[in-house]
């Protein structure tokens, strides 16, 4: 096939236009919009699903690299929003679980979870997929010790190297110094030490199960080391991947191998309520402006208990050295940074959730369980299934009032799927339209004109705000047996009033002071509430999001024994956020 000069020019303009749209995107929304790979786990049960787990994002020479469990490669980004999948020239070993990565000078180092002998790899051209052996084998550690869930750390002030690891409810997190003179192998196979154990009897958030209500011994995993102003922050995840309360905590020390002290403000990253819950097992990195971020792996669990996505949250250290991740409105749109922020909420767009529990009309549905109302219930494990996976199927959401729509997120579900390879046939295409009256429609975004890529959690930022009442999804293509969507989330701002601040707010510690009973008076016309708490009046870094149709009572089970806490509440609706209530103490 040959093209005329005019056709070449049209193709060029289309390509330029598509790239310009990507370049103009100024926001992101959790869960991250990347091409999640189909996972080989559970193939023996014929379960097919896309999953993202144990993320590590590295700032390498001013660009970003994302490594995820069992993904056959990694992702590369220059802006934290547009992620290109990189296929390595070859995997020297099998695919990697919970990989460790670190950037030192001009080299990126990579290591996998293992209970056997495995090498450290390196790359000076990770954007090209180039990967080579740095060493051939780390000496094998004693049985059951690992290193599983490893983290590599290079101390820039001493030029020393360390490895941290552990994933168990029996063993602690371990640490060891690596010997530079021996190509970063252990100084001795027995030269490692246990560093930290979980203590669910003192730390409420480390208790196992949904809402910390299970008595099973919890798991500690997801080690990561961050050095900040001479202090070493040893990050860990607890109590279990498959729960809404999965979070990250930290111990702090003056030396890379301790001793470490438990941070009384733990957990540092925690999101037990909202659409995407769970923030555990990620890493902490700095962007090109010096801002910190904490990554995690929120829980989906439709096809399998360990089915997850990926999130990232603005993170910081306050003037007292307290580490915190800001998960307030953590799955709402946030701005991408353009400078170093000072206020922890500086990146929040203020675009509110317009679609919660709004009426939905669909072109078809497969059964009486996976129905239209599931699309706007903010339920992680409820979803809609069309009668057929064919172009032209539609979903129409009535926002019930004219609103300024700024973004749409479409979260697909792998329901009864049979796709096991993320090849070029796996991509996502749909159109988003808006209407004032439900009759005359305006095209707001068209993915059929964009470069083909898979978007299990497609986040569409509109080029300009759209004043509409109705939002329509028109299906074009996904490679799947079924067209199944968990949630279509519409963000922007209503044209009404923000809610009043809740009144009669109270917080009372129970006899078991790992728990507190929190109550407030309900107010009308709210989408939800944020319970805010922390260890000082000006350190309300923790957030528990509760929807307006839930009870106006929360048993908060994430507190540390013997630690004083302060609490407040705010309400939000389609139009914005109320003022914060007076801060109270227990």
Backbone angles phi, psi at 514, to 5 degrees: -75, -10
Q: Tokens for 215? A: 């008595």
DSSP 404: E
Backbone angles phi, psi at 440, to 5 degrees: -100, 120
Q: Tokens for 153? A: 């750390």
Q: Do 460 and 301 touch, CB atoms closer than 8 A?
A: no
The helix/strand/coil state of 87 is: coil
**For 140-180, what is each residue's pLDDT tens digit?**
888 899 999 999 999 999 999 999 999 999 999 999 999 98
506-585 CATH, one of 3.10.450.50, 2.60.40.10, 3.30.365.10, 1.10.10.10: 2.60.40.10
* pLDDT at residue 41, rounded to an integer: 60
Residues in a beta bridge with 228 = 231
Q: State how far the Cα of 484 lies from the Cα of 489, in Å rounded to an integer.
A: 15
Confidence of residue 43 (pLDDT cuts 50, 70, 90): low
Task: Give, in degrees to the nearest 5, the angle at Cα 344 between 343 and 347.
Answer: 90
Q: Tokens for 586? A: 């227990």
State percent of the chain over pLDDT 70: 95
- Averaged pLDDT for residues 72-93: 92
* pLDDT at residue 421, rounded to an integer: 85
**Nearest partner of 483 among 366, 340, 358, 332, judged by Cα:** 366
**Nearest partner of 493 among 455, 459, 457, 467, judged by Cα:** 467
**For 475-492, what is each residue's pLDDT tens digit?**
999 999 999 999 999 999
Q: State how far the Cα of 80 lies from the Cα of 101, in Å rounded to an integer.
A: 17
Helix ranges restricted to H, 64-181? none
* pLDDT at residue 153, rounded to an integer: 98
Confidence of residue 18 (pLDDT cuts 50, 70, 90): very low
Q: Do 133 and 142 touch, CB atoms closer than 8 A?
A: no
- Averaged pLDDT for residues 41-64: 87
**For 311-353, what is each residue's pLDDT tens digit?**
999 999 999 999 999 999 999 999 999 999 999 999 999 999 9
* pLDDT at residue 55, rounded to an integer: 97
Q: Which of 86-95, 257-266, 527-536 has the lowest mean pLDDT?
A: 86-95
Write the CB contacts of 413 (distance below 8 Å, at least 6 apart in sequence).
302, 383, 484, 485, 486
Write the CB contacts of 308 (distance below 8 Å, at least 6 apart in sequence).
51, 52, 53, 241, 278, 297, 298, 299, 300, 301
* pLDDT at residue 24, rounded to an integer: 80
Confidence of residue 17 (pLDDT cuts 50, 70, 90): very low
Q: Do 177 and 162 touch, CB atoms closer than 8 A?
A: yes
Q: Do 95 and 72 touch, CB atoms closer than 8 A?
A: yes
Q: State how far the Cα of 185 lies from the Cα of 103, in Å rounded to an integer.
A: 17
- Averaged pLDDT for residues 238-258: 97
Average pLDDT, the chain: 93
Order across the sheet with 284-286: list the strands.
284-286, 292-296, 311-317, 323-325
Superfamily of domain 30-350: Glycosyl hydrolase domain; family 43 (2.115.10.20)
* pLDDT at residue 40, rounded to an integer: 65
Question: Topology of domain 353-494, per CATH?
Answer: Jelly Rolls (2.60.120)
Confidence of residue 93 (pLDDT cuts 50, 70, 90): confident
DSSP 582: P
Q: Tokens for 367? A: 């059964």
User: What kind and span of H or E run contains 556?
Assistant: strand 553-556
- Averaged pLDDT for residues 201-215: 97
* pLDDT at residue 39, rounded to an integer: 75
Q: State how far the Cα of 303 lies from the Cα of 419, in Å rounded to an integer.
A: 13
Confidence of residue 304 (pLDDT cuts 50, 70, 90): confident
* pLDDT at residue 187, rounded to an integer: 81
SS3 content of the chain, % helix, strand, coil (to 5): 5, 40, 55
Confidence of residue 305 (pLDDT cuts 50, 70, 90): confident
User: What kind and span of H or E run contains 160?
Assistant: strand 160-165
Q: Which of 115-119, 195-199, 465-469 has the lowest mean pLDDT?
A: 115-119
With a cut of 60, say whether residue 8 has pLDDT above it. no
What does R_g of the chain's alpha carbons equal in angstroms?
24
Confidence of residue 139 (pLDDT cuts 50, 70, 90): confident
Region of residue 459 (left: phi > 0; alpha: psi -120 to 50; beta: else): beta
* pLDDT at residue 418, rounded to an integer: 86
Confidence of residue 42 (pLDDT cuts 50, 70, 90): low
Domain parsing of the chain, residue ranges: 30-350, 353-494, 506-585
- Averaged pLDDT for residues 383-412: 98
């Amino acid at each position: 096939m040959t093209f005329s000069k005019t056709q070449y020019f049209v193709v060029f303009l289309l390509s330029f236009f598509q790239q310009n749209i990507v370049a103009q995107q100024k926001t992101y929304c959790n869960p991250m919009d990347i091409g999640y790979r189909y996972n080989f786990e559970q193939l023996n049960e014929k379960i097919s699903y896309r999953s993202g787990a144990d993320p590590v994002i590295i700032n390498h020479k001013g660009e970003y690299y994302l490594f995820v469990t069992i993904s056959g490669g990694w992702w590369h980004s220059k802006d934290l929003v547009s992620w290109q999948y990189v296929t390595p020239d070859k995997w020297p070993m099998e695919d990697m679980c919970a990989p460790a990565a670190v950037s030192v000078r001009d080299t990126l180092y990579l290591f996998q979870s293992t209970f056997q002998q495995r090498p450290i790899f390196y790359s000076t051209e990770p954007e090209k997929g180039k990967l080579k052996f740095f060493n051939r084998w780390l000496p094998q550690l004693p049985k059951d010790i690992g290193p599983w869930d490893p983290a590599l750390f290079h101390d820039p002030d001493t030029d020393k190297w360390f490895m941290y690891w552990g994933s168990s409810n029996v063993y602690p997190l371990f640490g060891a110094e690596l010997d530079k003179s021996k190509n970063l192998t252990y100084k001795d196979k027995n030269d490692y030490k246990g560093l930290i154990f979980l203590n669910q009897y003192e730390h409420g958030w480390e208790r196992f199960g949904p809402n910390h209500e299970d008595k099973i011994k919890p798991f500690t995993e997801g080690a990561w080391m961050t050095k900040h102003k001479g202090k070493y922050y040893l990050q860990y995840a607890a109590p279990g991947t498959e729960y809404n309360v999965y979070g990250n905590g930290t111990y702090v020390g003056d030396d890379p191998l301790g001793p470490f002290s438990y941070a009384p403000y733990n957990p540092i990253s925690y999101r037990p309520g909202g659409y995407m819950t769970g923030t555990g097992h990620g890493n902490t990195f700095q962007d090109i402006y010096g801002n910190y971020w904490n990554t995690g792996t929120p829980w989906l669990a439709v096809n399998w208990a360990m089915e997850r996505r990926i999130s990232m949250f603005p993170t910081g250290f306050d003037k007292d050295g307290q580490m915190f991740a800001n998960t307030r409105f953590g799955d709402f749109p946030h701005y991408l940074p353009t400078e170093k922020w000072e206020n922890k909420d500086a990146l929040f767009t203020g675009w509110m959730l317009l679609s919660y529990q709004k009426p939905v009309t669909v072109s078809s549905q497969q059964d009486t369980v996976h129905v239209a109302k599931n699309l706007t219930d903010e339920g992680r494990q409820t979803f809609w299934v069309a009668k057929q996976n064919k172009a032209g199927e539609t979903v129409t959401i009535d926002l019930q009032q004219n609103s300024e729509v700024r973004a749409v997120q479409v979260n697909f579900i792998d329901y009864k799927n049979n796709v096991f390879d993320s090849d070029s046939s796996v991509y996502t295409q749909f159109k988003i339209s808006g209407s004032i009256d439900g009759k005359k429609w305006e095209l707001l975004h068209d993915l059929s004109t964009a470069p083909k890529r898979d978007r299990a959690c497609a986040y569409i930022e509109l080029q300009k705000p759209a004043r509409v009442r109705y939002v329509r999804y028109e299906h074009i293509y996904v490679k799947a047996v079924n067209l199944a969507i968990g949630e279509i989330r519409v963000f922007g701002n209503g044209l009404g009033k923000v809610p009043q601040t809740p009144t009669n707010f109270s917080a009372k510690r129970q006899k078991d002071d790992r728990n507190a009973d929190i109550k407030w008076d309900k107010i009308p016309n709210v989408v939800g509430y944020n319970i805010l708490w922390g260890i000082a009046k000006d350190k309300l870094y923790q957030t528990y999001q509760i929807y307006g149709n839930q009870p106006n009572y929360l048993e908060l089970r994430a507190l540390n024994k013997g630690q004083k806490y302060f609490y407040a509440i705010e309400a939000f609706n389609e139009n914005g956020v109320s003022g914060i209530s007076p801060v109270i103490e227990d």
